[in-house]
Structure 1
Amino acid sequence: MLVCAMAGAVAFAALVYTSIQLQSAEGLDPVHAGLAMTPLALAGFLTSTLEGRFLHGASPRLTAGAGLLVNGAGCLPQIWSLPLGLIVTGIGVGLVGPAMGAAVMAPAPA
């Protein structure tokens, strides 16, 4: 459960401020500011799809830990290039998502 909270905090806490910055400093309207953040969603979707296919037998601890590290690493490139930082963060989200699902469902009876 701690991983769930950390993943949400690392990946999505700054998106509110990113949206405000895109609207106030860059002059985008709310729709275009939201569309500017689609690389995060696309990278997360593609990564989680590929992870489910290729890393099915991997330990959730390994993939969740790697995803958290990639999430944290994705914050730095957002200073220079928002799309690049969002793609890196989306890859981290895509790694953490299936691992969280596997970790939460593991203790449940079949």
Structure 2
Amino acid sequence: METIRHVDGPGRFSHAALDHVSGYGDTHEVTESAAEYLCDDRGLFERVEATDVEFTEVKDGAVDEDGAAEELPEPDSPSVDDLEDKTVDELSDLAAEAEIEGRSSMTKDELIDALREN
């Protein structure tokens, strides 16, 4: 089994080898032949090393050498609540600024997901 991450193509992608519909940044465990097809042939996914997955899971805080938690800086992107309150047109404008491909055909939820990933 190999771990792959959705990095290109449609914002939502479905395939029999995946355990659920995939969005940008989602990781999946698939067979070697499925990884070859989705990564090498289609180019929609990339192979992920075990250490890459471990590092992407840490989001809420970091720990220094003494074991004390340090606060992470606030992200430059709008907060989750800000995105939920925006109209589709406002989200499309933000997606255009972020140069998100396929934004014109995305639903509000897909735009929010894409902006969160960006």
For the aligned pair, the TM-score class normalised by the smaller chain equals under 0.3
Higher RCO structure, 1 or 2 (CA under 8 Å, sep 6+):
1
Higher percent of residues as strand: 2
| TM-score, normalising length: structure 1 | 0.28
| TM-score, normalising length: structure 2 | 0.27
Higher radius of gyration, 1 or 2: 2
